[in-house]
Structures are given as structure tokens and as C-alpha cells.
């Protein structure tokens, strides 16, 4: 039993090391360079960030894809669209599948949306001075 535990521990360590090495230092891709304010979402997507009198809008720079089955498992539709998050000036937050509230860190760079069901997504701005500024 002890040998099995050590084997599993070693296998996990090798797997974890392999996954961490898949990420390396990088700069923004070309498709993000024309956006004044870019955020990295905790879902791994890049978002264009904008501010208006009603709050903030985070819109994914790339489309996300979903498969919606119809009938048997091989038939259905492939849907594509950009993910959009709205962070209201009154601290409310919404997207097509998430509603809740949002907070901003003291640095003004980190935004977190937390839904009533416990789901969370966070955004890390890569630059400051997004105006108008809102605080929650």
C-alpha cells in the first residue's frame, strides 16, 4: 500500500510539473494590441475593458464555441459568440449565465464577480486609468 501511495504521489508530481511547464512568459497577441484596456480573465481569455457612466464592460477578444446537441449525439449546432460581462455602477454584475455583484481591489487592477450560486470569475487589468472610474 505504501508503494502504491508513493507511485501515485510521484505520478501526480510529474503530471503537475508537466502542466506548469506549458505556460511560459509571453506578450499580448497581435489581436489584442489595438485595445487600450485589456484584462485577463480567470477563464484564460483576454477581454477588452471599457468604462461608461453605467459601469464597466468586459468583452472577450476571441469567440468561444459551444456545441448544442439535437436528436442523437452526433447532430446539433456549433454556436460561436463573444463572452460579455457587465459590471454596473451600483455593484451589480451580469453576463448571459452569471448574475451577482462585483468588487475591485485597492490597486484598481483586479475585478471579481461573485454569483449567488458561488460561481466566480476574476479579471486582471493590464493597465490602469480606465475612466470613468467606479468603485464597489
DSSP summary character for residue 54: T
Domains of the chain by start residue, with CATH = 32-67+75-127 (2.40.128)
Band (19; pLDDT cuts 50, 70, 90)? low
Looking at every residue in the chain, the average pLDDT score rounds to 79
For the chain, the residue count is 136
Mean pLDDT of the 63-91 span: 88
Higher pLDDT, 22 or 73: 22
Band (59; pLDDT cuts 50, 70, 90)? very high
DSSP summary character for residue 110: E
Cis ω for the linkage preceding 117 (within 30 of 0): no
Amino acid at each position: 500500500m505504501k508503494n502504491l501511495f508513493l507511485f501515485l504521489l510521484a505520478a501526480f508530481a510529474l503530471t503537475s510539473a508537466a502542466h506548469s511547464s506549458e505556460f511560459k512568459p509571453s506578450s499580448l497577441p497581435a489581436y489584442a494590441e489595438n485595445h487600450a484596456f485589456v484584462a485577463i480573465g480567470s477563464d484564460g481569455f483576454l477581454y477588452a475593458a471599457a468604462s461608461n457612466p453605467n459601469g464597466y464592460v468586459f468583452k472577450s477578444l476571441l469567440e468561444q464555441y459551444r456545441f448544442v446537441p439535437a436528436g442523437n449525439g452526433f447532430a446539433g449546432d456549433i454556436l460561436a459568440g463573444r463572452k460579455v460581462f457587465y459590471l454596473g455602477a451600483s455593484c451589480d454584475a451580469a453576463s448571459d449565465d452569471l448574475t451577482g455583484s462585483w468588487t475591485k481591489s485597492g490597486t484598481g487592477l483586479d475585478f471579481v464577480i461573485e454569483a449567488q450560486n458561488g460561481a466566480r470569475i476574476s479579471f486582471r487589468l493590464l493597465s490602469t486609468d480606465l475612466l470613468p472610474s467606479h468603485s464597489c
